Amino acid sequence: MTPLVVAKSLFEEHFKEQAVLCVYAPGRVNIIGEHTDYNDGFVMPCAINYGTAVCGRKRDDGIFKVYASDLKEWDEFDVNQPITPNPEKKWAGYVRGIVKFIKERCPEFCNGADVVISGNVPLSAGLSSSASLEVGVGKFCQQLGNLSLTNTDIALIGQKAENQFVGCQCGNMDQLISALGQQDHLLMIDCRTLETTPTPIPQDVAVMIVNSHVKHDLVAGEYNTRRQQCETAAKFFGVKALRDVSLAQFKEKEAELTALDVDVAKRARHVVTENQRVLDAVEALKSGNLALLGELMAQSHDSMRDDFEITVPQIDYLVELAQVAIGREGGARMTGGGFGGCIVAVAPIDKVDAVRQIIADNYEKQTGLKEDFYVCTASQGVSVC
Binding residues: 34-37, 124-130, 162, 223
Task: Compute the residue count for the chain.
Answer: 385
Task: Select which of 75, 174, 184, 263 is catalytic.
Answer: 174
Task: Provide the sign of the torsion angle of the four alpha carbons 272, 276, 282, 285, taken in this order.
Answer: negative
- Is 174 known to be catalytic? yes
Residues forming a β-bridge with 240: none
DSSP string, 301-361: HHHHHHTS----HHHHHHHHHHHHHHTTS-EEEEESSSSSSEEEEEEEGGGHHHHHHHHHH
- What is the Cα–Cα distance from 169 to 301, expressed in whole angstroms? 22
Binding residues for ATP: 124-130
- The b/e string for 47-83 (b: 16+ C-beta within 10 A; e otherwise) is bbbbbbbbbbeebeeebbbbbbbbeeeebebebeeeb
Q: Residue type for 177, please?
A: I
Binding residues for Mg(2+): 130, 162
Task: Provide the sign of the torsion angle of the four alpha carbons 312, 316, 321, 322, taken in this order.
Answer: positive
- What is the Cα–Cα distance from 93 to 255, expressed in whole angstroms? 43
Task: Provide the sign of the torsion angle of the four alpha carbons 209, 210, 215, 221, taken in this order.
Answer: negative
Residues forming a β-bridge with 186: 199
Name the residue among 52, 47, 77 with its Cα closest to residue 135. 52
Name the residue among 349, 262, 342, 242 with its Cα closest to residue 306. 262
Q: Which distant-in-sequence residues (6+ apart) come within 8 Å of 38 by Cβ?
A: 169, 170, 171, 172, 191, 227, 230
Q: Which residues are catalytic?
A: 174
